[in-house]
Structure 1
């Protein structure tokens, strides 16, 4: 069974998807971490995205694993490295590349083979698994999402201003929604949940009840 949870940055996708997977005993797949890991490998190896053949060769031999919610690159866990600002600032642009996106989509589909999966991202219900049994689209006002992201940054002792963080969310929304390849949008058959004024526990309960009722 595939449960797809899509939505913009700061809507609570990762937290919700992880908790839902734990409750149901499903595998949790963080697709954002996968794109970050691919970006990390490309930057580390100095790959020029304009050199299509070099890029394809790199991805073909890429030693990348996703196991027990950890990302491994060449046998080493890189969970912390892929969260560094140098990687975060590049991932959105790198993920627009059609060669990278095709590789990541195939990678995600292989991870889900023969597994019950909760997968979160921006195009899971529309591109990666358009026939997923359950689809949810989490959203919230961009200012609220910006405030959530700001609190996350503060807790991680990272320098950021509230205004800049909110503006970054607004720009990310625009870029994700208007990109030519796999834009962020709600699947026609997805259940939309606005998380602006409700807590994470209520969102999780809504999804769990829906899955158990419809299953």
Structure 2
């Protein structure tokens, strides 16, 4: 008798759509694990810069992805024993992460590492290809979207709250470029899965969005 795999809720969407916060809150509500897949690409980008690279070498980026010494614990992220949760949120690292994420070799290097997060009692995974590539059998797939202007405002506030300076117009342009890069890449582009529920959070707060996802899960009549 084959044991059923632990359930997964995937939350995909563009940068600053709120998917990371929503995924964490949904996971907490259900008592499940959470996977911030974007953090793995940001960590890869950080490792590349620490090795003196600029993201232009696919083989180097893939090697960095394979060699990541990462620990996720108590809301913190450690790379090679050093807490880097704030460092990987810098815009320079975010932009580089979007670039290296387009490399097929990098995505292949991180594929099984991401799938390994699927453990009991369940997993909430957020990213850009969670429902299309990493967990295509997930019983609930959410594509969380929001207007790009609203996302720029959210990112601006997020960076200011963390003590980083940022110009709103620059953030808006960066988001538009990143959206195009993520949606147009050949391998694992940012797209809603055919069976995903699209949720527009442009005019929804975090609490309302979390409740929407939890209601979608409850509506499926599955244990949580």
Q: Fold conserved (TM > 0.5)?
A: yes
Q: Give 2:210's aligned residue.
A: 204
* Aligned with 1:64 (options 55, 67, 70): 70
Matched, 1:146 2:173: no
Q: Please give the secondary structure, in 2, of the residue aligned with 1:112.
A: coil
Structure 1 length-normalised TM: 0.90
Alignment: residue pair count? 214
Q: Give 2:101's aligned residue.
A: 95
Q: Give 2:167's aligned residue.
A: 161
Q: Give 2:139's aligned residue.
A: 133
Q: Distance in 2 between matches of 1:59 and 1:173?
A: 22
Q: Are the counterparts in 2 of residues 143 and 166 from structure 1 also a CA contact under 8 Å?
A: yes
Q: Distance in 2 between matches of 1:67 and 1:23?
A: 18
Q: Are the counterparts in 2 of residues 37 and 73 from structure 1 also a CA contact under 8 Å?
A: yes
The Cα offsets for residues 21-71 of structure 1, whole Å up to 9 and x where unpaired, read as: 11000111111111111221222123575373x655554444233344433
Q: Give 2:4's aligned residue.
A: none
Q: Please give the secondary structure, in 1, of the residue aligned with 2:117.
A: helix
Q: Cα distance, 1:207 vs. partner?
A: 1.0
Q: Please give the secondary structure, in 2, of the residue aligned with 1:34.
A: helix
Q: Where do 5+ consecutive residues of structure 2 fail to align?
A: 1-6
Q: Distance in 1 between matches of 2:64 and 2:32?
A: 31
Give 1:1-215 correspondences, 5 Å limit: 1-46=7-52, 50=57, 52=59, 57-214=63-220, 215=222
Calculate the aligned-residue CA RMSD, in Å. 2.0
Q: Distance in 1 between matches of 2:63 and 2:204?
A: 46
Q: Distance in 2 between matches of 1:115 and 1:72?
A: 24
Q: Where do 5+ consecutive residues of structure 1 fail to align?
A: none
Q: Distance in 1 between matches of 2:158 and 2:147?
A: 17
Q: Distance in 1 between matches of 2:210 and 2:66?
A: 37
Q: Are the counterparts in 1 of residues 182 and 189 from structure 2 also a CA contact under 8 Å?
A: yes
